[in-house]
Amino acid sequence: MSEVNEYYKDMVAVVTGGASGIGLALAETMLSYGAKRVILADVNDANLARETARLNTTHPGQALGIRCDVTKEEDVKEMIRQAAEFGGGRVDLLINNAGAGLSGQFAEQTNGNWEKAFALNFYGALYGIRAVLPVMRAQGGGHIVDIISGIAFFPMPYQTMYSATKAALNGLTLALRYELWDENIRLTSATPGTTATAIWDGGEAKAPPGAQSPEQSARTILEGVAKNERLVLGDEVDASSAKYCFNPEAAKQIDDYMLDVARKRRSGVWAL
């Protein structure tokens, strides 16, 4: 058995946004690695029912779907309560994956738009952390993973809400990692990399050629989590972005690149 499989063996894991895309791939991959129980939390009732039933066909009794709106703290608390009950009193791993890619012109975005963006992409994870900490403390440890995005350290024009919310979540995760370290509660930030999921649907951008599958992204994330990596980078683009974006020596190059992207997007061409 590999070290990665050994890490997830008999684990009770919760994945928010778990009924589709990367969240579903994370849940299914953990079951294949030997997880004991996996809880899918999602707001999409149809996806939740279908995918939970499918997972239980191949892994009988090991998957539970719970409807949860992560923007509502009471929903998140109740979801964690049910998850711990299903897991025999345990939640070994919480993956805060629920979120949305957001774009638009800053001048047209209201305070209400910003509040909704932070409610989903930041506070949803914050509520999850608060709710699961008492469970993890009682059992002597655990692991919390917050799915951010490469945009957290490569903020893009016309994606101010997405950039800001994911940067805030990354900051929270990495700072809290050291507050909880001595309680044997690990925290990891993880980017999925450029992945072909529904996050691209209905927007101005389309998944670029060569985008990886959700399963590829899930394997990369889970391998890094098993190693207790501080920041898991989902692909080479994210790794390069993390290395260069805030490097003073690359400032001119970054300015030129971002200005070109901004001008193209302003003209209606959704450049990456």
Helical ranges in 87-123 per DSSP H: 111-118
Phi, psi of 166 (to 5 degrees): -75, -30
Q: Give the pLDDT confidence score for residue 206 in this predicted structure.
A: 62
Q: Give the pLDDT confidence score for residue 203 in this predicted structure.
A: 47
Residue that the structure tokens 């994606």 belong to: 159
At 154 the three-state DSSP class reads coil
At 236 the three-state DSSP class reads helix
How many CB atoms are closer than 10 A to CB 96? Answer: 30
Q: Give the pLDDT confidence score for residue 1 in this predicted structure.
A: 64
Q: Give the pLDDT confidence score for residue 207 in this predicted structure.
A: 64
Domain extents for the chain? 3-266
Collect the ranges in the chain with pLDDT lower than 70: 1, 198-209
Cβ 119 vs Cβ 71: under 8 Å: yes
Q: How far apart are CA 193 and CA 174, in angstroms?
A: 19
7 is catalytic: no
Cβ 46 vs Cβ 95: under 8 Å: no
Q: How far apart are CA 165 and CA 171, in angstroms?
A: 10
Task: Tell me, rounded to whole angstroms, the distance of Cα 188 from its chain centroid.
Answer: 10
How does pLDDT run across 87-124, given as a tens digit for each residue? Answer: 999 999 999 999 999 999 999 999 999 999 999 999 99
- Classified by CATH at the fold level, domain 3-266 comes out as Rossmann fold (3.40.50)
DSSP string, 18-81: TTSHHHHHHHHHHHHTT-SEEEEEES-HHHHHHHHHHHHHHSTT-EEEEE--TTSHHHHHHHHH
Catalytic residue chosen out of the listed positions 8, 33, 127, 162: 162
Asked whether the whole model's pTM tops 0.85, one would answer yes
User: Strands, DSSP E only, in the chain?
Assistant: 12-16, 37-42, 63-67, 93-96, 142-147, 185-190, 231-232
Q: Which of 49, 52, 29, 50 has its CA nearest to residue 39?
A: 52
